[in-house]
Structure 1
Amino acid sequence: MRKTNKRYFGAKIASEANSFIGKSIDIILKNGQSYHGVVKSVTENSYALTDGLAGKHLLEFSLIDEIIETVDAKY
C-alpha cells in the first residue's frame, strides 16, 4: 500500500498533540536534530517519545520545528 507524509508546523504541533499518542512519527527540532519513535504521552508543553532502541525522549513544543506523520495514501 502506498504511503504519504503529513507535515505539521507552528500551532498545529501543540493543537494536534493528542492525536499522535500511540503513533509513530518523526520530530525535527529547530536545531536540526531529528527523532523517530512512538509517542507514549503528551503533557501540556511536550511529547514523551520512545525511539526504536527503547530510548525515552521528552521534547518540548517550543523546540520543535516540524512533525512528520506517515499515513496510508487514499489512492
Structure 2
Amino acid sequence: MSELLDVVRAGRVEDVPGLVKPLTARERAAELRELKALRAEVRDQLWTAGRRERRRLRDALLVAGAG
C-alpha cells in the first residue's frame, strides 16, 4: 500500500495535497486505481467507526481524487 492510501485511510486530509502534488501522471493513474478500490470498499462495508472518522476518510478520499 502506498503512503497516500495510508494517509487517506487514516483520514489525514491535511496531508493529502503534499503527497499528491509531486506525483507524475503515471503515478497519479496508479494511485487513482487504488483510491477507486478504497472508495468501493468504504461504500460497501458496514462501518464500526464513528461518524467523525467516516467523514474524515470521505473527505480525504475526495481531496485525493481531486488531485
TM-score (norm 1): 0.27
Report which of the two has the higher share of strand: 1
If you compute each CA radius of gyration, which structure gives the higher value, 1 or 2? 1
Report which of the two has the higher share of helix: 2
TM-score (norm 2): 0.29
Q: Relative CO higher for 1 or 2, CA cutoff 8 Å, sep ≥ 6? A: 2
